[in-house]
Amino acid sequence: MYALKNKVQLIGNLGNAPEVKTLESGKKMARFSVATSENYRNAKGEKVTDTQWHNLVAWGKVAEIVEKFLTKGKEVAIEGKLINRSYNDKEGNKKYITEIQVNELLMLGVKAE
């Protein structure tokens, strides 16, 4: 059960092209967002789609795969963990960020020809 303490699994579509950086150490980092959608009917019987956006970060070999194969709109399944961090913006205001650190990635959808 220890492995389940901080585990996230999502299937969704990329909202943008990944932003990939190579750090001074040579290690790669990729940032991208994934949208997940849920459909349901409200009290009036109307169909409602609820879309949630998730910020993701990948490091090392996973970041290299992201850079090479992922594009906007691509459907992916990811597994990772939640990371919470904070920073001070240019005005000195404290900002909080929640993102998912991707450990595993599976590309879904139609295979390109």
- Overall CATH class of domain 2-107: mainly beta
Cα(14)–Cα(17) distance, rounded to whole angstroms? 7
pTM above 0.75, yes or no: yes
- Count CB-CB contacts under 10 A for residue 82: 12
Q: What are phi and psi of 65, to 5 degrees?
A: -65, -45
Domain boundaries, the chain: 2-107
**Residue ranges in the chain assigned as alpha helix (H):** 60-69
- Count CB-CB contacts under 10 A for residue 14: 19
**Digit-coded pLDDT (tens) for 44-103:** 999 999 999 999 999 999 999 999 999 999 999 999 999 999 999 999 999 999 999 999
